[in-house]
Chain A
Amino acid sequence: MNSVGEACTDMKREYDQCFNRWFAEKFLKGDGSGDPCTDLFKRYQQCVQKAIKEKEIPIEGLDFMGHGKEKPENSS
């Protein structure tokens, strides 16, 4: 899968590989400490955040999980 920043795709794939291994073998089994992917993640983030700014993708200032919104259940 490609990154939104063309130059970041390789870094993304490297990070994803590391994350998927840690996620399945450590995190899901209760061992959330010692994330071995932090350096890869930092490099990847530097690249992708730059690409997001360049493309003016509006991801800033948005509440995590859309908190603070009332969710109406009914509609007609």
Chain B
Amino acid sequence: MVKYFLGHSVLRSSWDQVFAAFWQRYPNPYRKAWPGGSKWKLHKAVNKEQASESPLHSDICSKHVLTEDIVHREVTPDQKLLSRRLLTKTNRMPRWAERLFPANVAHSVYILEDSIVDPQNQTMTTFTWNINHARLMVVEERCVYCVNSDNSGWTEICREAWVSSSLFGVSRAVQEFGLARFKSNVTKTMKGFEYILAKLQGEAPSKTLVETAKEAKEKAKETALAATEKAKDLANKAATKQQQQQQQFV
């Protein structure tokens, strides 16, 4: 299950100014690494972009960008600029998440931002996502920057994001296993009842009944085994799904 976000922002600057600024965003007061890593004084947002609601550009002061590098860049034959930027950010989680996922606390988040700048059409498209902590959560963001339809001196940003977690698959596996085990226990319970009722009602438990009890026990064992296998399979699928999505080859 994926959480979807759709947003729209406007910058009161022309497209060429915005595209140039895109490469010079870091550091800025909202996201540079502060020596000592202490709290920030809140500034009033001077720029709507900095106060946007994108899941990758969250609340002011909550994330620090530690490093920024271009790791690929080329100009295509049709004069578009393709770039890939690697960012590392601190991984700030709420305390309950730190307790649940201690292994993730120590590691920074690595984020890739791919972009296509098309000066002829005056548009820029970006796609940004995290390449580690992926088993816990993946956030993908796609932005299209273009000239504002009302004011050609302004730039608008259409932003979509998808937030997903393979933990959702794990909880499904736990539920499936729980239900299957419960069903096999019900079978055992009913057979047990039949057996003891027959006994109490003075009937020697017939051979059939004793055998049935044994069969029920065997069947219950098989059901539980099948359930465990299914649950394992679901959990594995969920865990590898995120990795596969990140590791596709061309």
Contact = CB atoms under 8 A, between A and B. Distances in A.
A20 B20 contact: yes
A4 B86 contact: yes
Given A1-B68, A27-B81, A48-B71, A65 B26 contact: no
Given A12-B69, A72-B2, A76-B1, A66 B86 contact: no
Contact of A23 (B3, B23, B116, B246): B23
Interface in B97-134: 110, 112, 114, 116-117, 119-120, 125, 127, 129, 131-132
Interface string B79-96: 101101010100000000
Interface string A13-38: 00110011001100111101001000
B208 interface: no
B127 A66 contact: yes
Contacts of A58: 110, 131-132
A28 B19 contact: yes
Interface of A: 1-5, 8, 12, 15-16, 19-20, 23-24, 27-30, 32, 35, 41, 44-45, 48-49, 52, 57-59, 61-66, 68-69, 71-76
